[in-house]
């Protein structure tokens, strides 16, 4: 049952709390590193310049990828996956589950849909009234179907999916680099603080917390980044890792794995110069993906006029 408007407004405000905390921690880390560490504690001018340059490079890339992950709206399926008003009427009039499934099966014939429910039926979203493309899932927080949905990230208050997965990977990478840079440059001063050689208690507190918080985030981000590198190279989403996708012949956990290189290129694109930048370069349109068993030695995937993947040559 849909929530009343005032409760929806309250829920939206609550969802903003984690991302606000993250932004405040980042702003404080910038202040603590630049003012207290570089400006007050460092006495060597060369070291100060080198550290500030490296820090701002990391901070710039981190902020850019963070903003892109946060602000890129999740992409929803195109209109061809939506039921037409006549199909919708026909679907609603039928009462039997079998008949409804048959209607969806007939409509799906012209769509590039391979995944099924556990009961081998066409995947249909009752909220959005559409046939779900492969790897698409309905997000109850965003209240929409999201293409190649990975997960809904409460810390970013956004869905991670086809439209921003590359940005999310870069966000993990640059935030880890940001934390590691802080830890490695501040640790010698941190040790001096422990030995009691440095003065001001306010500076002490900022530097101590900066090292501890950065170290804590670095460990967490390291695990998260390596987990997502493993998902990327095996072409799985977090949801597919949690629940194996079903096809007409049954479940297939490796269905979208077409080789490490091809899996990487699907997300990062072929243009190497764009790999480190949080700009769109992913292949395809997020509605269809090459399947492992279709990639025989005589076939290769090509994109048709609609941006969907289609197979050329023999299909096994």
Q: From residue 97 to residue 126, what is the string marking binding to Zn ion with x (rule CB under 5 A)?
A: ----------------------------x-
- Using rule CB under 5 A, residue 131 touches Zn ion: no
Q: Does 127 engage in binding with Zn ion (CB under 5 A)? A: yes
Q: In whole angstroms, what separates CA 230 from the centre of its chain?
A: 14
| Nearest residue (CB) to Zn ion, 161 versus 290 | 161
User: Which residue's CB is nearer to Zn ion, number 127 or number 298?
Assistant: 127
Secondary structure (DSSP) of 178-210: HHHHHHHHHHHHHHHHHTT----HHHHHHHHHH
Least distance CB 56 / Zn ion (angstroms): 32
Q: Compute φ and ψ for 272, nearest 5 degrees.
A: -60, -35
What's the min distance (Å) between Cβ of 96 and Zn ion? 23
Does 8 interact with Zn ion (rule: CB under 5 A)? no
Q: By CB under 5 A, is residue 169 in contact with Zn ion?
A: no
Shortest distance, CB of residue 98 to Zn ion, whole angstroms? 23
Q: Is 58 in the site for Zn ion (CB under 5 A)?
A: no
Neighbours of 104 (CB within 10 A): 18
Which is closer to Zn ion, CB of 114 or CB of 132? 132
60/134 Cα distance (integer angstroms): 35
Alpha helix segments (H runs only) across 94-200:
97-108, 165-194
Q: Which of 113, 142, 177, 182 binds Zn ion (CB under 5 A)?
A: 142
Nearer to Zn ion, 111 or 303 (CB): 111
186 sits near Zn ion (criterion: CB under 5 A): no
CA–CA dist 264, 256 (Å, integer): 12
Residue 70 binds to Zn ion (criterion: CB under 5 A): no
- C-alpha–C-alpha distance, residues 14 and 207, integer Å: 31
| Greatest distance between any 2 Cα atoms in the chain | 80
Q: Taking a C-beta distance cutoff of 8 angstroms, is the pair 137, 154 a contact?
A: no
CA angle 301, 279, 141 (to 5 degrees): 85
Nearer to Zn ion, 185 or 237 (CB): 237
Q: Is residue 61 part of the contact set for Zn ion (CB under 5 A)? A: no
Nearest to 28 by CA among 161, 209, 266: 209
Smallest distance, Zn ion to C-beta of residue 146, A: 6
Active site residue 153: yes
- Cβ–Cβ contacts within 10 Å for residue 182, how many? 25
Which residue is catalytic, options 142, 153, 159, 179? 153
Catalytic residues: 153
- Contacts with Zn ion by CB under 5 A lie at 125, 127-128, 138-139, 141-142, 145, 152, 159
């Amino acid at each position: 049952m849909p929530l009343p408007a005032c409760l929806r407004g309250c829920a939206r405000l609550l969802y903003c709390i984690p991302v606000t905390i993250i932004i405040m921690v980042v702003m404080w880390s910038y202040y603590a590193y630049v003012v207290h560490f570089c400006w007050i504690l460092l006495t060597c001018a060369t070291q100060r310049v080198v550290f500030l340059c490296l820090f701002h490079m990391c901070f710039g890339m981190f902020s850019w990828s963070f903003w892109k992950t946060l602000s890129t709206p999740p992409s929803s399926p195109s209109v061809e996956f939506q039921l037409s008003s006549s199909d919708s009427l026909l679907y609603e009039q039928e009462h039997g589950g079998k008949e409804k499934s048959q209607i969806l099966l007939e409509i799906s014939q012209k769509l590039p849909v391979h995944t099924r429910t556990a009961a081998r039926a066409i995947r249909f979203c009752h909220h959005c009234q559409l046939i779900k493309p492969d790897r698409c899932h309905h997000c109850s927080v965003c209240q929409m179907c999201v293409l190649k949905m990975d997960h809904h990230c409460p810390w970013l208050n956004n869905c991670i999916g086809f439209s921003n997965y590359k940005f999310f990977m870069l966000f993990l990478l640059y935030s880890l680099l940001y934390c590691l840079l802080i830890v490695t440059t501040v640790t010698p001063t941190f040790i001096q603080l422990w030995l009691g050689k440095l003065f001001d208690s306010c500076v002490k507190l900022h530097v101590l917390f900066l090292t501890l918080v950065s170290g804590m985030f670095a460990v967490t981000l390291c695990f998260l980044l390596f987990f997502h590198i493993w998902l990327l190279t095996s072409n799985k989403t977090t949801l597919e890792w949690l629940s194996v996708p079903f096809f007409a012949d049954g479940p297939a956990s490796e269905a979208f794995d077409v080789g490490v290189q091809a899996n990487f290129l699907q997300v990062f694109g072929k243009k190497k110069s764009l790999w480190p930048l949080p700009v769109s370069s992913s292949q395809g349109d997020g509605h269809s993906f090459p399947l492992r068993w279709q990639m025989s030695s005589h076939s290769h995937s090509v994109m048709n006029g609609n941006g969907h993947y289609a197979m050329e040559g023999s299909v096994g």
